[in-house]
Structure 1
């Protein structure tokens, strides 16, 4: 695996690979890699000839400065994992490489209503930061295919919108969420959970499973939401949202009875355990 710290060096490598007729797959990360990230690397290796991973903890997408400071940084183990997975290139830029003019007064993107609900509502400015860094990364890597995890469901939709705004030919491939044996969605933030809270964290998966079962049986959403909310608060969570949405638009899909709403739906949860914020989702209309 070749490690690049500068965009111009990476660009030369990418051009060499493309000149040889090779397709480029790209897996952007913020490090603290786990099996979910490695699954994205594996998917890229199956679909493309050259897999590029980036590790960059992007300061502009953290609306909580403390959260940015506490984000796990495990670069040496990350490199070992990527090498073992057969990743071809790692882009490891500094902040000055990504934002040579600094991080003030950056460009803004027209994300429409996606910025007003769910993560957009509770983390103002977050998705602008995601777009700021992804625009730069996509311009540097120029991949044929972009691989991201479905756990960040709304983020995948935002990046899809960004690709449209950029008129990028890159194909976004959202890969299924990987879970621990007890159902907890794999996340770099799980590293920050105490052993006690790590056990409690599985309640989110149980909550989503409850929503799926009850909603598919036709239970009214207010009843389902009350049960799910109680399950989380009883486990010690502080809830940002428990919502049911159209899987394609993220607009509320909370018709009185499930039989009235026939489109694909997704249940989404964001909640704090202590100072660690966890998110997860589950598609409801799947078997």
Structure 2
């Protein structure tokens, strides 16, 4: 396993492999957990070598404090990845290696996907995501790139990005990995106190309950049920809960036959923002 911190050395390692090897790519912001390792193992199964990027991307944060506090531990991340096998390449660049002198985001039109859920609450977030991924895709030129379904909206936007940029790669979505409690794995979980971590289990419990009630209750009833439940909890603050069309991500008002729906949620546990989602039908 090799670690590269600039694109020149990375390209020197990748260029000979491109002729005969299938390359997988797993973009991360570090603070790796079992969810990331699941993505890497999936990529290792389907490719000859896998590039893992470790980079906290400034253009996708609209909260400077959140950017500064995002957990970073490259040494631990490298040790975790080393245990997975030899066919791994780590790319951990500085911002200047990717952006040059101007750390700015491209303004994308994701045909409305960017304005739903997260887009309503994190202005410019998906422009930052699209910008950094386009840079990575063009440097690495992977055959396949892997993304977790915990960020389901991001997964749909990445697919649209590949379409917009006409990039020759396959985007693979991988199911959410959860702790035994049901809490979706996230790098932000490392910042939770024991009390908040225990309370945060309510997030996945609510999604499961909504899934069980989906066939027999209206969307407005489910929305009210979730809001009232979080209103009674003095540890967690509900930012949003939405049931949306899985393809368009448009907020659903009422159910239609032959449409797939998914529940999306964002909650603050103190100052830590957690997101989750679940397919409903």
TM over 0.5: yes
1:157 is aligned to 156
Task: Confirm or deny: 8 A CA contact 2:263 2:278 kept in the other structure.
Answer: yes
- Give the superposition deviation at 1:5: 0.8
1:97 is aligned to 97
SS at match of 2:112: helix
TM-score by length of 2: 0.96
- Give the superposition deviation at 1:12: 2.2
Task: Confirm or deny: 8 A CA contact 1:271 1:277 kept in the other structure.
Answer: yes
5+ unaligned residues in a row in structure 2: which ranges?
A: none
Q: Does 1:263 align with 2:263?
A: no
The alignment yields a C-alpha RMSD, in angstroms, of 1.2
> 1:49-69: CA deviations, max 9, x gaps?
111100000001000000000
> 1:214-240: CA deviations, max 9, x gaps?
112x20111111111222232332222
Q: Distance in 2 between matches of 1:261 and 1:250?
A: 16
2:219 is aligned to 221
1:121 is aligned to 120
Task: Name whichever of 6-15 and 129-138 sits farther off.
Answer: 6-15
What are the residue-to-residue correspondences of 1:120-199 with 2, within 5 Å? 120-199=119-198
| Aligned length in residues | 279
Task: Confirm or deny: 8 A CA contact 2:219 2:252 kept in the other structure.
Answer: no
- Give the superposition deviation at 1:205: 0.2
2:228 is aligned to 230
Q: Does 1:7 align with 2:7?
A: yes
SS at match of 1:190: helix
Q: Distance in 2 between matches of 1:79 and 1:232?
A: 38
Task: Confirm or deny: 8 A CA contact 2:223 2:241 kept in the other structure.
Answer: yes
Q: Does 1:201 align with 2:197?
A: no
Q: Distance in 2 between matches of 1:17 and 1:187?
A: 32
- Give the superposition deviation at 1:24: 0.2
> 1:176-197: CA deviations, max 9, x gaps?
0000001000000001111100
Task: Confirm or deny: 8 A CA contact 1:204 1:232 kept in the other structure.
Answer: no
Q: Distance in 2 between matches of 1:164 and 1:101?
A: 28
> 1:26-71: CA deviations, max 9, x gaps?
0000000000000000000111111110000000100000000010
TM-score by length of 1: 0.94
> 1:97-148: CA deviations, max 9, x gaps?
11112214x4221122122210011000000000111111111110000001
Q: Distance in 2 between matches of 1:50 and 1:234?
A: 49
Task: Confirm or deny: 8 A CA contact 1:207 1:232 kept in the other structure.
Answer: no
Task: Confirm or deny: 8 A CA contact 1:55 1:92 kept in the other structure.
Answer: yes
5+ unaligned residues in a row in structure 1: which ranges?
A: none
